[in-house]
Amino acid sequence: MSAIRREMRDVIGGGTVIAVGFAFFYRSFAYGVGTLSEMGAGFFPMVLSGVAIIIGLAILIDGLARKARKDPQHEGFALRPVLAVLGGIAAFALLLTPYGLGPAVAAAAAIAGLGDPENRWLNLAILAAFLAIVCWLIFSVGLKLPLPFFRGVF
């Protein structure tokens, strides 16, 4: 019974991601997409929504193709991962303005990673540092958004 519910969650979840992706894809054209050399405001949302549609398709196809089987690891509702992800989002929102992009991303990644009890502190610290640097390189250096790595330092 649990495997059937999990398959239905994947089908419904994949369909939802596809629907939201198509909605954002359609709406991105209202902002002007532009070209690769002169990107408009809608270019980045269009690309991200395309990626969301592809991921949603993968989830949907996996849910439809999976054979029903017993999977005791995924039975029931786990509160820890939900609280960890929500805590990571809250930490990002609370830390971004006063402390900068680096601490906000690092805290969000580390807190969200606590949702899996098998994660180790060292692994979470390395992941948090890596994601903070990559996000800073993409958004501050690459896209030239005014997001300092540390507030007041850079």
pTM attached to this predicted model: 0.54
Do residue 56 and residue 104 come from a single domain?
A: no
9 lies in a domain? yes
Mind giving me the DSSP string for 64-130?
HHPPP---GGG-S--HHHHHHHHHHHHHHHHHHHHH-HHHHHHHHHHHHHTTSTT--HHHHHHHHHH
Do residue 85 and residue 135 come from a single domain?
A: yes
154 lies in a domain? no
pLDDT in tens, 63-119: 877 654 445 555 566 788 888 889 999 999 999 888 988 999 999 999 999 988 888
Domain boundary among 74, 94, 111: 74
94 lies in a domain? yes
Domain that holds residue 105: 79-142
| Residue 154 pLDDT greater than 50, yes or no | no
Per-residue pLDDT, averaged over 135-152, amounts to: 83
Domain boundary among 74, 100, 124: 74
User: Looking at residue 76, what is its pLDDT?
Assistant: 60
Domain boundary among 21, 56, 74: 74
Q: Say what percent of the chain tops pLDDT 70.
A: 86
Q: How many distinct structural domains can be found in the chain?
A: 2
* Average pLDDT of the residues of the chain: 82
